[in-house]
Amino acid sequence: MLTLRSLTKRYGEKTAVDALSLEVAPGKITGFLGPNGAGKSTTMRMILGLDHPTSGTALIKGKRYADHTHPLREVGALLDAKAVHPRRTAYKHLLAMARSHGIPARRVDEVLEATGLSDVAGKQAGSFSLGMGQRLGIAGALLGDPEVLMLDEPVNGLDPDGVLWIRGFLRSLAAQGRTVFVSSHLMSEMEVTADRLVVIGRGRLIADAPMEDILARGSRNAVRVRGPEAQGLHALAGRLVPEAHDVQWVSAHELVVTGLTPERVGDLAHEGHVRLHELRAVEASLEEAYMELTAGSVEFGEARL
């Protein structure tokens, strides 16, 4: 369990994190989202004691990170996969971490195997690709067999097989009852991985809800309509306009209708004898919901030249 109570961090006149309060429960994958500059990294650093809060507290299983005798056994974290001595082998890097917390050496072999690095355990970390570096960082997070895992952009640099691996791996960890807190900018990946989402903007909490509730906020009640006859579609659009909130043309043979159900659009097409090849509801996406939630919290907007 991660607990944040009015967590605040100020740098001079700038407030990076503003009275952030939330609980990250075990048994679920909780996604952590926000625009650039929202305060995600600062929040994670304060949880790990790397930055000191101006006020408020960040607790891991009821204690501050620094108050745990062996913190690596309580929380495993990956914030920067490059934070490894480049001339140290993967095995020796993990062994040094293990010895600092009284973790047996056999655990190093276990996490190397779990992350698919057994064959490169003797190679220097500086020679690793970005994806291999990510795996090494995840191995380090798992080293103490912690109940809490906190990962920043864990799929960064992974190939498609690696992405599938980390997705399944995180799910298995959550299924074991562990607390899994994951930050990412990849909306499509977060949508299929996370059970719950925490969204912040300008250091403040915007949303803390199950994935399905977040997606519901982005639902446009839209319908995609496609037909072979442009003239018939234009006639149908005229019949839709009085009832629909919006009718947008995608091409001469395709349009998107907002504010009506597929059934109602189908009935109007039937009444007007308009032949259709496609009629389907447009499912809400996390990207749409996220953009709607954070519309007023983007610190770095679109450049105009």
Q: CATH number, domain at 263?
A: 3.30.70
Domain boundary among 179, 209, 239: 209
Shared domain for 97 and 235, answered yes or no, is no
Mean pLDDT, residues 251-263: 92
Tokens 């509730």 sit on residue: 213
Judge whether residue 289 has pLDDT over 90.
no
Q: What tokens appear for 56 in the block? A: 């408020």
Domain boundary among 149, 182, 209: 209
Judge whether residue 303 has pLDDT over 60.
no
Q: pLDDT grade, residue 297 (50/70/90)?
A: low
Across 107-126, b (16+ Cβ under 10 Å) vs e yields bbeebbeebebeebbeebbe
- Own/partner contacts of 182-185, CB < 8 Å, gap of 24 or more, are 182/29, 182/30, 182/31, 182/32, 182/150, 182/151, 182/154, 183/31, 183/32, 183/33, 183/40, 183/41, 183/44, 183/151, 183/152, 183/153, 184/31, 184/32, 184/33, 184/153, 184/154, 184/155, 185/33, 185/153
Shared domain for 163 and 268, answered yes or no, is no
Q: Is residue 291 part of a domain?
A: no
This prediction has a pTM of 0.79
Shared domain for 9 and 137, answered yes or no, is yes
Q: Could you read off the pLDDT of 102-150 as tens digits, one per residue?
A: 999 999 999 999 999 999 999 999 999 988 999 999 999 999 999 999 9
Mean pLDDT, residues 89-100: 95
Shared domain for 191 and 43, answered yes or no, is yes
Q: How many other CB atoms are found less than 10 A from the CB of residue 212?
A: 10
Q: Which domain holds residue 128?
A: 2-209
Cβ–Cβ < 8 Å for 267, 260: no
Q: Is residue 174 part of a domain?
A: yes
Rounded to a whole number of angstroms, the CA Rg of the chain reads 24
Shared domain for 173 and 274, answered yes or no, is no
Mean pLDDT, residues 289-293: 82
Shared domain for 142 and 195, answered yes or no, is yes
Question: Of 31, 47, 101, which is closest to residue 79 (Cα–Cα)?
Answer: 47
Q: How many other CB atoms are found less than 10 A from the CB of residue 190?
A: 22
Q: Is residue 294 part of a domain?
A: no
The count of domains in the chain is 2
Tokens 């996490």 sit on residue: 111
Judge whether residue 304 has pLDDT over 50.
no
**Which is more confident, 203 or 216?**
203
